[in-house]
């Protein structure tokens, strides 16, 4: 029987829906409805209507910033000062604010190759000129960066220094230091997207860029990966001297500050210990899913396919033989009832034709196992 026939004949235990291994979201079944119900009930029982009024501070709810700082200190293991936190509607909003306020249309921004594809869309919408910097197993290639800096003057470098999307790589400590040194020398900002900082499953994590307490650094954090993306709540950690520039934006001036009601509920989730407990729980679930996926992939993938084992985050970045274009493979994947994100999505040059991204957070272990086995059948069939 051909692999395609095999794939079609095997029905999934959960029905006829395909398994899209490319989805980089939390599992619907894990989202913390009960915890947020409790947090919302707690907040509403306080009989304080401030959270339903326009906000009073552009940098966001002062009490959330205080409790968020305590929460981050516990988990980062480094100092976080509430006065350095600026509340946003998520990391994407923070990135858009920085792109609008700390760069002008036509300015150059550096991104890692590959990088988070929605950041590329965001920079394009702001009419920024995107220049890719090569990366390797330790993150940004700082030698290549230094060469680029001889001919380019970026407004900022956008980096995902921890459990990278899509590569899962973590930037080494030596290179973090070098980046800051270069940012100071060449007067550009570092925008460190640290949304996966708290999702570590193995070994030590470097302290976040935020902890460097440097005025050249913006660190982006988010409740999307640790509580729920639908909350649309996150933060920028940076020098308060930047806050007045960040606040010169119609949406913030009109609302007074971002999402006071959601901020109040999330603050209760933190003070009641619900955020800590939920984070510990999803970390365990993701740790197991990640380990299971690696084990299955090791069994089913052809030897010519390689990947780096993630130590945190959401993603695996598979390198296929040079001859395979993952866009072509995706067309064939429909017959196998699976999906993934082709590598070309992750760079403006549409490089990485023989790479693909998959994630282990959206599906449970049974579903992931089925999806990975189908991926193995698909690759075997394609290579034949
Ligand atoms: C690197 C990175 N940054 C930002 C986001 C989006 O974060 P938010 O939901 O807080 O806007 C994602 C989501 O996948 C991501 O992977």
Averaged pLDDT, 342-368? 97
Residue nearest to atom 13 of ligand 1 (CA): 24
Per the prediction, the chain carries an average pLDDT of 95
The pLDDT tens digits for 137-160 are 999 999 999 999 999 999 999 999
Q: What percent of the chain has pLDDT over 90?
A: 91
212/334 same-domain check: no
User: pLDDT, tens digit, for every residue of 330-348?
Assistant: 999 999 999 999 999 999 9
User: End of a domain among 242, 275, 308?
Assistant: 275
**15 confidence band (pLDDT: 50, 70, 90):** low
Residue 342: give its domain's CATH number.
3.90.1150.10
Taking the centre of ligand 1 as the mean of its atom positions, its distance from the CA of residue 165, in whole angstroms, is 9
Residues 53 and 104 occupy one common structural domain: yes
Q: Are residues 269 and 378 in the same domain?
A: no
Within this chain, do residues 284 and 260 fall inside the same structural domain, yes or no? no
Closest atom of ligand 1 relative to the 92 alpha carbon = 11
Q: Which of 217, 247, 275 is where one domain is finished?
A: 275
Helix axes 62-76, 274-300, angle to 10 degrees: 50
Work out the percent of the chain whose per-residue pLDDT is above 70. Answer: 96
Q: Are 237 and 354 found together in one domain?
A: no
Centre of ligand 1 from the C-alpha of residue 91, in Å: 6
Q: Are residues 152 and 15 in the same domain?
A: no
pLDDT for the residue numbered 5: 42
pLDDT in tens, 300-316: 999 999 999 999 999 99
Strands (E), the chain: 19-20, 85-88, 108-113, 129-136, 139-140, 156-159, 189-193, 217-222, 234-237, 306-307, 315-319, 338-339, 341-342, 355-359
pLDDT band at 17 (very low <50, low <70, confident <90, very high): confident
Q: Do residues 49 and 80 both lie within one domain?
A: yes
Does 11 or 80 have the greater pLDDT score?
80
Q: Measured between alpha carbons, how far is 12 from 101 in angstroms, rounded to an integer?
A: 49
Whether residues 25 and 120 fall in one domain: no
Q: Report the atom number in ligand 1 closest to the C-alpha of 116.
A: 1
Which pLDDT score, from 0 to 100, does residue 3 have? 37
* Contact indicator for 292, 310 with CB cutoff of 8 Å: no
Q: Which of 225, 310, 359 to mutate to test the pocket of ligand 1 (most atoms within 8 A of CB)?
A: 225
- Pocket perturbation via mutation, ligand 1, pick of 24, 25, 165 by most ligand atoms within 8 A of CB: 165
Which of 87, 92, 359 for mutating ligand 1's site (highest number of atoms within 8 Å of CB)? 92
Q: How confident is the model at residue 351 (pLDDT cuts 50, 70, 90)?
A: very high
Per-residue model confidence (pLDDT) at position 286: 98
Q: Assess whether 306 and 319 both reside in one domain.
A: yes
Query: How many A from CA of 194 to the centre of ligand 1?
Result: 9
The whole-number average pLDDT for the span 16-23 is 91
Residue 94, class by beta-carbon neighbours within 10 Å (0-12 exposed, 13-18 middle, 19+ buried)? Answer: buried
Q: Does 259 lie in the same domain as 133?
A: yes
121/261 same-domain check: yes
Contact present, 229 and 29 (Cβ < 8 Å): no
At 308 the pLDDT is 92
Ligand 1 geometric centre to CA of 46 (Å): 32
CA of 117 to the centre of ligand 1 (A): 10
Q: Which one of 91, 194, 361 would you pick to mutate in the ligand 1 pocket, going by the greatest count of ligand atoms within 8 A of its CB? A: 91
pLDDT category at 4 given cuts 50, 70, 90 is: very low
Q: Which of 250, 275, 300 is the last residue of a domain?
A: 275
- pLDDT score, position 8: 46
Indicate which atom in ligand 1 lies nearest the CA of residue 164. Answer: 1
Query: 116 alpha carbon to ligand 1 midpoint, in Å?
Result: 8
Ligand 1 atom closest to 90 (CA): 10
Q: What is the pLDDT of residue 313?
A: 98
pLDDT per position as a tens digit, 41-90: 999 999 999 999 999 999 999 999 999 999 999 999 999 999 999 999 99
**Any residues with Cβ below 6 Å from ligand 1, and which?**
24, 90-92, 116, 160, 165, 193, 195, 222, 224, 229, 234
Domain containing residue 267: 33-275
Q: Render pLDDT for 222-276 as a digit per residue (tens, 0 to 9).
A: 999 999 999 999 999 999 999 999 999 999 999 999 999 999 999 999 999 999 9
Shared-domain flag, residues 191 and 315 = no
- Domain of 257: which CATH number? 3.40.640.10
For residue 359, the CA-to-ligand 1 centroid distance in Å is: 14
User: Are the C-beta atoms of 233 and 261 separated by less than 8 Å?
Assistant: no
Number of domains in the chain: 2
Ligand 1: residue of 23, 196, 224 to mutate (most ligand atoms within 8 A of CB) is 224
What pLDDT does residue 273 have? Answer: 98
């Amino acid at each position: 029987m051909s692999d395609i026939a095999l794939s079609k004949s095997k029905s999934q235990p959960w029905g006829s829906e395909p398994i899209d291994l490319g989805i980089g979201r939390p599992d619907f079944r894990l989202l913390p409805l009960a915890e947020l119900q409790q947090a919302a009930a707690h907040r509403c029982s306080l009989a304080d209507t401030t959270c339903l009024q326009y906000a009073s501070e552009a940098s966001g709810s002062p009490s959330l910033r205080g409790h968020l700082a305590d929460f981050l200190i516990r988990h980062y293991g480094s100092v976080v000062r509430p006065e350095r936190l600026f509340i946003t509607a998520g990391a994407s909003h923070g990135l858009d604010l920085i792109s609008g306020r700390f760069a002008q249309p036509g300015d150059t921004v550096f991104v890692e190759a590959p990088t988070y594809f929605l950041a590329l869309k965001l920079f394009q919408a702001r009419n920024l000129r995107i220049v890719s910097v090569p990366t390797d197993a330790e993150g940004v290639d700082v030698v290549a960066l230094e060469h680029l800096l001889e001919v380019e003057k970026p407004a900022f470098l956008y980096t995902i220094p921890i459990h990278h999307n899509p590569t899962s790589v973590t930037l080494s400590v030596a290179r973090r230091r070098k980046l800051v040194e270069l940012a100071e020398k060449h007067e550009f900002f570092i925008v460190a997207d640290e949304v996966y900082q708290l999702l570590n499953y193995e070994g030590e994590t470097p302290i976040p860029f935020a902890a460097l307490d440097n005025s050249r650094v913006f660190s982006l954090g988010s409740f999307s990966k640790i509580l729920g993306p639908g909350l649309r709540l996150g933060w920028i950690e940076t020098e308060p001297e930047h806050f007045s520039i960040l606040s010169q934006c119609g949406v913030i001036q009109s609302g007074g500050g971002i999402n006071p009601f959601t901020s109040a509920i999330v603050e209760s989730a933190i003070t009641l210990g619900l955020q800590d407990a939920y984070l510990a729980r999803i970390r365990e679930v993701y740790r197991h899913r990640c380990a299971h996926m690696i084990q299955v992939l090791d069994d089913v993938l052809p030897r010519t396919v390689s990947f780096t084992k993630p130590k945190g985050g959401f993603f695996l970045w598979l390198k296929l033989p040079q001859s395979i274009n993952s866009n072509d493979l995706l067309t064939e994947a429909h017959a196998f009832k699976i999906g993934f994100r082709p590598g070309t999505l992750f760079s403006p040059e549409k490089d990485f034709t023989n790479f693909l991204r998959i994630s282990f957070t959206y599906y449970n272990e049974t579903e992931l196992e089925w999806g990975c086995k189908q991926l193995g059948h698909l690759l075997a069939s394609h290579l034949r």
